[in-house]
Structure 1
């Protein structure tokens, strides 16, 4: 399990760096577009669709890392009144639901990409499938990271949870 955790940690770190680089790149592209439009009185046609595509990547990759690190949205009121064993079962149930959601992202994102593949994005000149690839990649990572969380819990390894000062045992 420790080897798996190391691999997923590297995957998460790479995803986070790609997300950060995408955020910076999108900001630069938008700044260039503003400069060209309002200073040079011209416009770059590909910056807006390119920025939206980059935004998809950093949102979905960053969200997957957030799931691995325990920063996903949760409703924890019930957890304050149940035993530790029930908490662990509820955390696992939550992770199973997240796996199902990630699997849906993979399946339906793939269908969208396949359906959009024949279309060409006019300003970028690439297949429309590229718009949906971040959904698929993010879904794969969501599934992998959620499975890791369950496996860590079953192996007795700590698992991070948002809002907790101590790591879950």
Structure 2
């Protein structure tokens, strides 16, 4: 049950990431077209791409967590006997959970402060681009907890 919930969340994140990446690519292509063909690059394209990059980075970090698709150096973990390797895994996940909590806590405060001003080109509150930090941290924490709970329950991944 927990593993299926995590899988569903990952699929939703994949859909959001696909749309965000498509919009970012179109935005950048339009910027290049405007700059070199029309001799006037629209200002909103660069800002859109930058804001989407922040959202893509944070949501993709959560998406790859459960299947261990992050870049990792596991020379030490591979050399350890199984009980110590498991202990090291729990320690790693504890550190990730603390950092994800920090992203949520401080990221939301940052978004609140950023909400006091608007972006230059899109003229939207900077709250929305900065909200990527706590939302990404929350998804990281949620998927990590679901992964560990499903392992403890003996569910397949």
| TM-score normalised to structure 2 length | 0.92
Which has the bigger relative contact order, CA under 8 A and spacing at least 6?
Answer: 2
CA distance in 1, matches of 2:26, 2:155: 41
For residue 115 of structure 1, report the CA deviation from its aligned partner: 0.5
Partner of 2:142: 144
Partner of 1:6: 4
5+ residue gaps in structure 2?
none
Partner of 1:37: 35
Deviations 1:71-130 (A, max 9, x none): 123332222332222222211111111111111111111011011111011211110111
Change (3 A) 1:158 1:97: farther
| TM-score normalised to structure 1 length | 0.86
For the 8 Å contact 2:2–2:150, the answer to whether it is kept is: no
CA distance in 2, matches of 1:142, 1:109: 13
Deviations 1:7-36 (A, max 9, x none): 221111111221122112111101101111
Aligned residues: CA RMSD:
1.5
5+ residue gaps in structure 1?
160-169
